[in-house]
Amino acid sequence: MQGLDFSVVAPYVDILLMGTWWTAILTVSAGALSFVGGIIFAVVVLYAPAIVAYPVRLFMWVFMGTPLLLQLFLIYFGLVQIGIDIPALVAGIVGLGLHFAVYNADVLRAGIVAVDFGQTEGARSIGFGKWQTLRYVVIPQAVRNTIPPIGGNMIALLKESAIVSVIGIAELVHSAQLAISETFRPFEFYITAAALYYLLNLVLEAGLRRFERNVEISR
Amino acid sequence: MSMQRPMVEVRGARKSFGAAEVLKGIDLSVDRGQIVAVIGPSGSGKSTLLRSINHLEALDSGEVWLDGMQVNQPLHGQAFERHINKVRQQMGMVFQHFNLFPHLTVLDNITMGPVILKGMSKSEAHALAHGLLSKVGLADKIDAYPSRLSGGQKQRVAIARALAMQPKVMLFDEATSALDPELVDEVNAVMKKLAAEHMTMLIVTHEMRFAGEVADRVLFMDGGVVVEEGPPSEMFRAPQKERTRTFLKKYLSA
């Protein structure tokens, strides 16, 4: 039996920080994709003609009803088979991004519907078209009103990003595993990785709170 | 005056919501610079009539004209969208619940239309907004968000927002009904100012006193028809129809 000895971590700090960096990049990129994708999905589901809306709904339903891990395997290993070879990092960002876009779309759809219809009438009465009204009046308000649940999804995304280690992206868990394979000290490295995730989460939460405060000014 | 083309004209307007027919063939004409007040009990169809003029309600039959252009043209899809968006830019609408955009400052509420729809420069739009806010007595609120304003202030901003599009006519849909009594006068004062500038106005209101002061002509609606119309002096002092008398008695004694 070995006692805990965190001095084994020291030589691997660079690798772990590099992993943290890649986790941050993954989270920001996939987060941005999930946000924009969420808005697009929500608008399509609500307003697009059935011929577009139904396939998107089916897609959302499949993405909600199947494991993220499987989706990543499909995107990374599956698509190669039909000639679409994308780098692991891109596959990870797309997989995470689309997976959480579906959750964000659900939240945003409710947010859009909840915007008072008087807002739409106000904009239309000035002469704004349907899409202009959505873009300038309804969606900005829907986004503001759904920041807390969307922020929750972003935090979930940060944590779930660990799963892309399985397709070989050198993010935080992957870096920890690399160090463990050389030192055989899983406890120390996983605890260190957990602490780093927690730190990233604190940064993300601070960012979200700041964003929320800015929005509060207009309330 | 009577020879010129009316600014707003409604012919044979009919509208049903389900089984309830709320407009039963309304005719209405408002001349340039004229101020017409529409009064009547709740459910008389007066708000629906006003909303149908800028097509927030689509008529089942009948025609709406603005300055010689048909508002409810029999177009479809995108063609109608383009048409109605152009027409609405020429009409200012003021709502009972203001419908200001809460995520935008007062300035952006007012300049959004001119900047996006008319391509006005930001600086030009800023000057326009400042001028309009001075007119409604709120120049100091230009950077405030609507949530920081009282109901009366919100409605004055909403009027400024509508005026920013330089409309041919202003439509007021019970503009003071949602306000605390002490805030009604500041909004009425702005409307009187517009009246003095000969803005064409169609005002749906519950306030008989104000209608009497500001309107050139008063329409009394009940049950989806225009029961009686005339200058306020005649309408309020010597209404011809029994229904008008009953309604006014109830309101003026209250």
Instruction: Please tell me if residue B70 touches chain A, with a CB cutoff of 8 Å.
Output: no
Which residue range forms the structural domain that includes residue A160?
Answer: 6-218
| pLDDT number for residue A46 | 96
Tally the domains of chain A: 1
**Whether the predicted interface score ipTM is above 0.90:** yes
Measure CB to CB from residue B95 to each of A122, A128, A140 and give the nearest one: A122
The residue of chain B nearest to residue A131, with distances taken between CA atoms, is B81
Q: Report the CATH number that the domain containing residue A196 is assigned in CATH.
A: 1.10.3720.10
The residue of chain A nearest to residue B52, with distances taken between CA atoms, is A125
| pLDDT number for residue B1 | 47
Q: Closest by alpha carbon to B10, among A50, B246, B45?
A: B45
Rounded Cα distance, A70 and A78, in Å? 10
pLDDT band at A201 (very low <50, low <70, confident <90, very high): very high
Rounded Cα distance, B189 and B213, in Å? 11
CB count within 10 Å of CB A13 equals: 11
Q: Are B181 and B225 in contact (CB under 8 A)?
A: no
Average pLDDT over residues A180-202: 94
* Cα distances (angstroms) measured from residue A137 to each of A122, A140, B87: 9, 6, 20
A129/B91 Cβ within 8 A: no
Rounded Cα distance, A144 and B223, in Å? 42
Q: Closest by alpha carbon to B204, among B13, B43, B24?
A: B43
Is the pLDDT at A211 greater than 90, yes or no?
no
Q: What is the pLDDT of residues B167-217, one digit of tens each?
A: 999 999 999 999 999 999 999 999 999 999 999 999 999 999 999 999 999
Residues of A with CB under 8 A from a CB of B: 116, 118-119, 121-130, 132, 136-137, 140-141, 144, 217-219
* Cα distances (angstroms) measured from residue A102 to each of A38, A45, B51, B95: 6, 11, 38, 36
Average pLDDT over residues A112-133: 97
Which residues, given as ranges, of chain B have pLDDT below 70? 1-3, 253-254
CB count within 10 Å of CB A170 equals: 19
| Three-state secondary structure call for residue A114 | helix
Rounded Cα distance, A60 and A53, in Å? 10
**Residue in A47, A112, A115, A126 to test binding to B, most B beta-carbons within 10 Å:** A126
Instruction: Tell whether A113 is covered by a domain.
Output: yes
Rounded Cα distance, A79 and B160, in Å? 56
Instruction: Tell whether A1 is covered by a domain.
Output: no
Instruction: Please tell me if residue B167 touches chain A, with a CB cutoff of 8 Å.
Output: no
pTM value? 0.91
Measure CB to CB from residue B145 to each of A118, A124, A218 and give the nearest one: A218
Instruction: Please tell me if residue B99 touches chain A, with a CB cutoff of 8 Å.
Output: yes
| pLDDT number for residue A3 | 80
